[in-house]
Amino acid sequence: QTVVTQEPSLTVSPGGTVTLTCASSTGAVTSDYYPNWFQQKPGQAPRTLIYSTDNKHSWTPARFSGSLLGGKAALTLSGVQPEDEAEYYCLLYYGGARVFGGGTKLTVL
């Protein structure tokens, strides 16, 4: 059973920088896992921020960036805004299957 692990919770101050990570139980995450990042706020459908490691959609704020860091996928928020408080999920590809991480609850305080 493949497990994708994220930090359960993180807290950041407004204007600060925070990095969320996404690890695979199978080993180092590479671009072959096509990491994706999603934001979800209570009562809303998820919204895709990053696809295939570091690609942004037109609606993705510039302060969000995706990368590979120390064998994990990473989502960095620079200049955090209060509206960034949300749950963040990563998704990795394992051939045909996809697996979500458990999510990181980001608190902006």
Partner 1 sequence: EVQLVESGGGLVQPGGSLKLSCAASGFTFSSYEMNWVRQAPGKGLEWVSCISTGGDTVYYADSVKGRFTISRDNAQNSLGLQMNSLKDEDTAIYYCARGSAWSAWGQGALVTVSS
Cα separation, 31 vs 80, whole angstroms? 26
Q: Binding segment for partner 1 among 17-25, 61-69, 74-82, 83-91 (CB under 8 A)?
A: 83-91
Q: Give min distance, CB of 1 to partner 1, in A.
A: 8
Q: What is the largest CA-CA distance in the chain?
A: 39
DSSP state at residue 57: P
Interface pick for partner 1 out of 24, 64, 89, 106 (rule CB under 8 A): 89
Instruction: List the one residue out of 80, 79, 78 whose CA is nearest residue 107.
Output: 80
Q: What residues between 17 and 36 interact with partner 1 by CB under 8 A? A: 34, 36
Q: Which residues make beta-bridge pairs with 6? A: 22
Q: Contact residues for partner 1 (CB under 8 A)?
A: 1, 34, 36, 38, 40, 45-48, 51-52, 55, 57, 87, 89, 91, 96-103
